[in-house]
Amino acid sequence: MARYIFRRLLQSIPLLLAISVISFGVMQLAPGNFLDTLRGQPTIQPGTIAALKRDFGLDQPWHIQYFRWLINALQGDFGYSFDKKIGVFALIQQRVYYTVLLAFWSTLLAWIIAIPLGVYIATHRGGLVDRVANLISFALVSLPGFFVALLALKFASDSGAFPIGGATSVNYANLSWSGKVLDTAHHMILPVLVLGLRGIAGLMRQMRGNVLEVLSEQYVMAARARGLKERRVIWKHAVRNAINPLITIFGFEIAGLLAGAALVEQVMSWPGLGKLLLDAVQARDIYLAMGSFVVGAVLLIIGNLVADVLLAITDPRIKFS
């Protein structure tokens, strides 16, 4: 396993380089840069803007700017955020925690609910629960994530039961350790539900289809013929094989979750990496956008690696070699 993980990490290096080149090139296609927004301010002299361009290398061709950024990034320096007035690496450290927190709990919620529910409606096909669950799943998959987030904000505003936006309260710094945990959890309920419900809808339908397909396999019929209890046949033989395709797409779900989280974070003012990336692109803050792109790509690569390792562990037919 160690050799496999090491080999996969080596293979990810050219992928990260390609992503960084493409991302930098796309950012360069936007007209102007962040310093152009300062030109309209009468208190800032043209000489100051020219000096800032020279100091940050923005007066150089794009490929020179890229290699300068790449060399600094390899040393742990992702540059300086013009918009936030802080180092990019320090800012991303603050934001990636909240994105990982949101992604972890929403994924956990989706899997804990979707897998048992998918198995139940597959083994009770055509029943009332099956019809209701399919109707709700179609509705959740069809609704855009930002629209569900707006509905959640409307509910929070009308009920007053949940905070509107943000990840912490104003008095967060004065709270005890347990108070800080409870305060963050209170702010996280609605964003987790918004992302988790969409994940539940998709996973439940996929698990239902996988279980129905596996139940028609010969080894399941052979297990029943040996007199095994139906519960043992379902959970030991059918579910174990039906869940493997879901583990395969786990890495792609991480990518979709990060994309969906960006919109949810923007609507619900959750201080995560997705919101930070959108703000950076809108402000044409190139170094902050580049740092966010790279960290997002690293999270995606890690998600796919974890999915492949879990699949090899759960499926004896797959070897790390």
Contact 212, 125 (CB under 8 A): yes
Q: Please provide the average confidence, as pLDDT, over all residues in the chain.
A: 82
Contact 204, 137 (CB under 8 A): yes
pLDDT digits (tens, 9 = 90+) for 258-296: 666 777 778 888 888 888 888 888 888 888 888 888 888
Residue 303 has pLDDT above 80, yes or no: no
Domain segments of the chain as ranges: 31-77, 89-314
Contact 242, 214 (CB under 8 A): yes
What span, in angstroms and rounded, lies between the C-alpha atoms of 195 and 150?
13
What span, in angstroms and rounded, lies between the C-alpha atoms of 158 and 153?
9
- In CATH terms, is domain 89-314 a member of 3.10.450.40? no
Cβ neighbors of 7 (< 8 A, separation 6 or more) are none
* pTM of the shown model: 0.77
